Amino acid sequence: MRQIFTVFRKEVTDNLRDRRTLMSALLFGPLFGPLLFAGMISLTLERSIGESVEALRLPVSGVDNAPSLMRFLSQNNVDIVDIALTMEAARAVIDAGSEDVVLIVPDGYGEAIRAGKPAVVQLVSDNANSNATKSIRRAERLLSAYERQLGALRLLARGINPAVINPIAVEDVDVSTPTGRSIMLLGMMNYFIIFSMLMGGLYLATDTTAGERERGSLEPLLTLPVERWRLIVGKVLATCLFMVLSLAISLLAFSVSLAFVPLAEVGMASNFGLPVAARIFLVMLPFALVGAAGMTAVASFTKSYKEAQTYLQVLMLVPTLPIIVAALFTLKPTLSLMLVPSLSQHLVITGLMKADPLSMVFVVVSFASTLGIGLLLLGLAARLYRREGILG
Amino acid sequence: MIEARGLKKSFGKVQALRDVSFVAPDGKVTGLLGPNGAGKSTTLRILYTVLNPDAGTAVIDGADIRLDSMGVRRRIGVLPHSAGLYPNLSARENIAYYGRLLGMQDDALQQRIDELAGLLELEDVIDRRAKGFSQGQRTKVALARALVHKPRNLLLDEPTNGLDVMATRALRELILKLKNEGICILFSSHIMQEVAALCDEIVIIGGGRVVAAGTPEALRQSTGEQELEEAFVKVIGSAEGLQ
């Protein structure tokens, strides 16, 4: 135990003194993701929110014929453009595509309203023009809303409860969260979290194996009365520590940067505060062992520092694959998926972020299975270290 | 005392050691002499247990390398061919790392490091990071590291490689000092003069075999040559790889 701790302490001290390690492990790695992610997410949100808030531009011919309709439209965020157009002229304008939709209020409108007869208005649009669909729908919705309002008033004026003409009240119960986009975004966020962990351990995994050999410090180390598995465990634990530090920094950065982003708009719990961050931290914890032991095992194979870095950079992409698959096929969490490291963390964190946490059994299976696979990889790394070829 | 018995080792099709047997007694400096590629490093690596022999074995102060490699490692200090330091650690920390792994307690360890710093004239640099050390300084620190637990057997693989004249002299004096303390010293070299100046016993290796062994005097007599170098050339069969 003492020997393991000695190795652990030495590797931590050694790497804490290396500026390059610190920069990549504790600065670049953990901050790159949160910054990029927050920037991207707020751009997407700005665009989608911006659209619905923007006033609907609606050219109206015969504004004076319907003052109260105009008032209603103005109150509902419609930018009324007063123009005089005949039906033919309106058609031409729509055909040319210079306006999405035009409203014509004929001269007889006021009279018909006063007489309690259906008053005709014409909404000119090109339904085949998909760019205009949004504006057309909005105009239609507003007009029918006004119609219902008028109708209800008329019934009231005649002493009838307006509810009698609504024999059936359909309530839309929408159980979907706006997931389509959020699954992609969550997948990205989860990968950034994993990425920052792996970045945190990358330098240690190479330095403690390939680096040690290249420096020529491995051979004297192996002549000490220390079993090799103890050396590996100490080294992997040091790598784990850096990965966990990087994870913590990354989550802190996420919780700070996302505090400025309206997450609820994309279907994530809007409270990516410290409690959620702390839970994500716990969920990710066993992945540190998988990453550290996996990277150490791969680095043990390589002949030089450079070769190790090349392989490890490829290896860092591996945890993305299950996340991409999950995003493409919208995988629902099942117990067997919880056995897969990176995928299980992704699903558990997705649940947390959507304020729809998975059952504790899933979380425990994810934790235990990832830890188990981490221990297997650690065993593999220790085995690789026992080879004579380790000296290169 | 180190006793090698019939060591054999192959790497793939290359037979590095065909038959290596010799004895390196306590209180003596034994030189493993041979041209490049003769099998000196492989022999030492087997003795300090990072390689396993295909056949044969060796016993160091009663511990068998095949049966008790941990026991062997506790009994030896090693300066391998490439004895790298950790550049981000000070000389003291480099040595202390090994001391702790060898189970030494902190007080005794720091005391021992100061002692070694005095012995190896490292006082000025002992608390400096190893990053900018000269080759001579690096070798000295690596040697201090190998000696931290006062091993009774010292294995050095071409220790004077890359050292200047002054550093070589200092190393030579240190080896003699350790010898007088009764330590068994085994070192490899391909430099004739070095071996001649230091060794009480010489083991000449060529082509993976011990081709001759004995005191310098005995070697000269058995070959009938007055100069050790001539004796060497005679037993190896060529002057190849000699300096």
Nearest to B83 among A2, A18, A220 (CB): A220
Contact residues, chain B to chain A, C-beta under 8 Å: 45, 48-52, 70-71, 73-74, 76, 78-89, 93, 97-98, 100-103, 129, 142, 145-146
User: What's the mean pLDDT in A306-317?
Assistant: 88
Summarised one tens digit per residue, pLDDT across range A184-224 is: 677 778 888 888 999 899 989 998 888 898 888 999 999 99
CATH of the domain at B9: 3.40.50.300
pLDDT, tens digit (0-9, with 9 covering 90-100), for A364-380: 999 999 999 999 999 99
Residue B53: closest CA among A295, A255, B44? B44
Residue B16 lies in a domain: yes
Question: Quick one: pLDDT at residue B129?
Answer: 93
- What pLDDT tens digit does each residue of chain B (243 aa) get? 999 999 999 988 888 999 999 999 999 999 998 888 888 999 999 999 999 999 999 999 999 999 999 999 999 999 998 888 999 999 999 999 999 999 999 999 999 999 999 988 888 999 999 998 988 899 999 999 999 999 999 999 988 887 888 888 888 888 999 999 999 999 998 888 788 888 999 999 988 889 888 888 888 888 777 777 777 777 777 545 444
* Weakest mean pLDDT among A109-113, A127-131, B90-94: A127-131
For residue A342, the number of C-alpha atoms closer than 13 Å in the C-beta half-sphere is 23
C-alpha span between B78 and B147 (Å, rounded): 8
Within a domain: B72: yes
Domain count, chain B: 1
The pLDDT assigned to B242 comes to 47
Q: Rounded to whole angstroms, how far apart are CA atoms A275 and B102?
A: 44
Report the amino acid identity of residue B95: I
Give the pLDDT mean for A1-11.
Answer: 92
**pLDDT at position B63:** 94
Query: Which of A128-132, A317-321, B26-30, B65-69 shows the lowest mean pLDDT across its residues?
Result: A128-132
On whether residue B173 sits in a domain, the answer given is yes
For chain A, which residues lie within 8 Å of any Cβ of chain B, measuring from their own Cβ?
A: 2-3, 6-7, 10, 13-15, 17-18, 212, 215-220, 222-227, 388, 391
Q: Is B104 helix (H, G, I), strand (E, B) or coil?
A: coil
Minimum-distance CB partner of A6 among B74, B101, B142: B101
Q: Is residue B65 part of a domain?
A: yes
In a domain, B78, yes or no: yes
Of the residues B54, B69, B82, the best mutation for testing chain A's interface (the one with the most A CB atoms within 10 Å of its CB) is B82
Contact (CB<8Å) B86/A217: yes
Q: What is the mean pLDDT of residues A337-362?
A: 85
Closest CA to B44 of B120, B142, B153, B150: B153
Give the pLDDT score at A296.
93
Let me know if residue B66 belongs to a domain.
Answer: yes
Which 3 state secondary structure label does DSSP give B169?
helix
Strand partners, B10: B15
Which chain B residues are within 8 Å of A215, Cβ to Cβ? 84-87
Share of chain A above pLDDT 90, in %: 25
> Average of pLDDT values for A231-250?
94
Q: What pLDDT, in 10s, does the model give residues A12-54? A: 999 999 888 888 888 888 888 888 877 877 777 666 555 556 7
- Phi and psi at residue A263, to the nearest 5°: -65, -30
Closest residue to B98, CB basis, from A212, A224, A227: A224
Q: Which of A36-40, A261-265, A306-310, B9-13 has the lowest mean pLDDT?
A: A261-265
* Domain around B31: 2-83+151-236
Query: Would B184 be classed as within a structural domain?
Result: yes
Return the pLDDT at A183. 64
In A170-250, the DSSP E strands lie at none
The pTM of this model reads 0.77
Enumerate domains of chain A plus CATH numbers.
Answer: 2-44+179-391 (no CATH), 54-165 (3.40.190.10)
Contact B132, B88 (CB under 8 A): no
Chain A interface disruption, residue of B50, B52, B61, B93, most A CBs within 10 A? B50
Contact yes or no for A226 and B78 at CB 8 A? no
Amino acid identity of residue A358, one-letter, is: L
Question: Is B36 among the domain residues?
Answer: yes
